[in-house]
Amino acid sequence: MATEYSFDVVSRVDITEVKNAIDQTEREISTRFDFRGTVSSIELSENELKIHSDDEFKLELLLEILRTRLAKRNVSLKSLEYGKVESAMRNSVRQTVTLKQGIPTDEAKRIVREIKASGLKVNAQIQGDQVRVSSKDKDSLQNAQKLIKSLPDLVCDVEFDNYR
């Protein structure tokens, strides 16, 4: 029987969990004494968070609360890309945080190169912003998953999806 098994290596952010973390953050800053009377807000649009606050100190506090809420909801902090802190009107500041979706091409090439160098009997190929790993042996696929999880310095959090 020549069936081939496969799985996809993906990196994605659950937007619903991000929305929930934003709601919890906004609820917390509305009750905190140090944020009383300030103009602090977080807006989600597409794959960007627009964070606005009175000064850089409060902006950093707001980001720390948000990071804590995201971590509790199992959203990887590796998927956040911070923009420059900019001045806004009335002496306030704003910052854009981008949610990275998908595996970058250079990182996907590195994953494929490491899998091929390991000598495992699996095939790895890049398909857009994900990597498909296939083999005739399920044990080889599990060993490939262990290898990918053990790779140091991955720039994105990887998940395994579409296991067949």
What is the tens place of the pLDDT at every residue in 90-103?
888 999 999 998 89
Report in angstroms the alpha-carbon separations of 53 from 7, 43, 108, 141.
43, 12, 37, 47
pLDDT-based confidence at residue 2 (cuts at 50, 70, 90): low
- Are 90 and 47 contained in the same domain? yes
- Are 69 and 110 contained in the same domain? no
The CATH number of the domain holding residue 58 is 3.30.70.990
Q: Distance between CA 160 and CA 82 in Å, rounded?
A: 26
Given a contact cutoff of 8 angstroms between Cβ atoms, the answer to whether 120 and 147 are in contact is: yes
pTM: 0.83
pLDDT in tens, 96-134: 999 998 899 999 999 999 999 988 899 999 998 899 999
pLDDT value at 16 more than 90: yes
Percentage of the chain modeled with pLDDT above 90: 58
pLDDT value at 1 more than 70: no
- Are 40 and 79 contained in the same domain? yes
pLDDT value at 151 more than 90: no
- Are 19 and 67 contained in the same domain? yes
Report in angstroms the alpha-carbon separations of 2 from 5, 63, 122, 124, 135.
10, 51, 14, 18, 10
Q: Measured in Å, how far apart are the chain's first and last C-alpha atoms?
A: 15
Domain enclosing residue 27, as ranges? 15-99
